[in-house]
Amino acid sequence: MAARATKAGENYNRPGRVDKEKTEIFPALTLPFALARLARRARPARGKEGPMKIAIFGGGSTYTPELIEGLIQRHKTIDLAEVALMDVDAERLAVVGRFAERMVEHAKAPFKVTLTGDRQAALRGADFVLTQIRVGQQPARHKDILLGLRHDLIGQETTGVGGFAKALRTIPAMVEIARDMQTLAPDAWMINFTNPSGLVTEAMHRFGVGKLVGLCNIPIGMQMDLALYLQCDPARLKLDYVGLNHLSWVRKVWLDGADVLPRLIDELAREDGPVAIPEMHYGPAFFRALGCIPGPYLRYYYATDKMLADLKAAPKSRAEEVMEIEAKLLAQYADPKVVTKPDELSQRGGAYYSVIAVDLLDAIWNDKGETHIVNAPNRGAVPGLGDDQTVEVPAVIRKDGARPLPTGPVEPKIFGLMAQVKAYETLAAEAGLEGGYSKALMALVAHPLCPPHKAKAVLDDIVQTFGLRLS
């Protein structure tokens, strides 16, 4: 299988923001919570000697200014010297990159922003490599959605057959980055935002990237929304969070050490309650039986028919909507008078992107031993899954890696789906690395959103639509 180059990418929106592929779990949270978190964490860096260089692949993404804003606010804590933005889309990189330069200059931040289309130049001397690529950009995402609908299946960007198609396109491009890292930046960390994040992170682990963490903003989005609903500082909350990327459950919610989940379940189970979730179409009996808070992407599994009907009925695909939003954002980014992040970026999604990214960089660089919810190899944390299979769970972050914390036994009512999707992800990661048709076919057969009798037709459609070469 061949995939050519890395295009500007993106990461996912959190629940409650303006993204029609998401669902509200709790009312949307405003930015001050995140800014307060940033302020609390600011302190001088005490990491390794020498300033930090960050290389961002997919630097032409419209999300990049969100990350630049976070780095401006926290550059002292990580001793930041350079941010190298790399993208193969030169025109887009010029627009986004020049805007990033103006943001840094306006804030009088001491680090520099460099722009390059040369992967190796970006990697030389890098301490961290942040990947947010999208092979084929939004037009490929639109094809993913249509591909699913052609087969009467979910074609969402990271879930279902659409997510599988995206993974097959993306993994070879990520391998190109990882291979050059081994030579040019062997001590660098890879922080992966590229979707499907957990699957891609597992592929990179299997390829041999040792210093590796995958990130998603769903966990922090759920915590922030819970904090807003409970009217408390997010720091007072602790979540028993378990699952995979975009397939997660919150089994307990501790507020100052007391579990308030039973109260939240009662509210969720009230159809007229203040936090009812009509978009998910889960009834009271379901929530009481489940006994935990499902992540937003579980609606594609728990309410598949409804979600498929919504995708079919939508006048535009989410990719088409995003293309319109991005055109407006890029026009603003190109305006030399614009020197701060536009408010309209919130429509694109990606809330808390900069918070979780910079928090993680800080925790690694300064060896803080903090607990973050990340995607990392299981290493025994979740009983019943393999050590090399990537999970999304709380992990202790040190300069030498992420150590997932033991979750204890995972209840059969959620482990069954979790194990099946994990089997799919592992097969898909191996198929992306090996370029094997048979393994790709078995990955689709394993996916709960692809009936086995449709798997071959779907795979052949993916190969033809995207010009992939599978042997």
User: Is residue 427 within 8 Å of 203, Cβ to Cβ?
Assistant: no
Locate 117 and state its tokens: 């289309």
User: Are the C-beta atoms of 190 and 211 separated by less than 8 Å?
Assistant: yes
Is 424 one of the catalytic residues?
no
- The Cα 316–Cα 161 span in angstroms is 19
Question: CA separation (Å) from 163 to 13, 105, 350, 372?
Answer: 16, 38, 18, 25
Q: CA angle, corner 392, sides to 390 and 397, nearest 5?
A: 95
Q: Which of 63, 241, 282, 297 is catalytic?
A: 297
Residue tagged 């790399």 (tokens): 86
Measured distance CA(343)–CA(348) in Å, rounded: 10
Which residue has tokens 């390829």? 207
CA–CA distance, 237 with 185 (Å, rounded to integer): 37
Cβ neighbours of 399 (radius 10 Å): 15
Contact 468, 168 (CB under 8 A): yes
Distances (CA, A) of 467 to 143, 346, 455: 12, 34, 18
> Contact, 185 vs 14, CB < 8 A?
no
Q: In angstroms, rounded to a whole number, what is the distance separating the alpha carbons of residues 390 and 214?
A: 9
Buried b (16+ CB within 10 A) or exposed e, 348-365: bbbbbbbbbbbbbbbbbb
CA 47 to chain centre: 26
Among 79, 8, 119, which Cα is nearest to 361's?
79
Longest dimension (CA), the chain: 59
Q: What tokens appear for 292 in the block?
A: 């935990």
Cα(197)–Cα(203) distance, integer angstroms: 10
Return d(Cα 139, Cα 167) in angstroms, integer: 15
Cis check: omega of the bond before 412, within 30 degrees of 0: no
Going by C-beta distance under 8 Å and a sequence separation of 6 or more, which residues neighbour residue 428? 164, 167, 168, 199, 440, 443
Contacts of 258 (CB under 8 A, 6+ apart): none
For Cα atoms 409, 412, 415, give the angle at the middle one, nearest 5 degrees.
75
Active site residues: 297
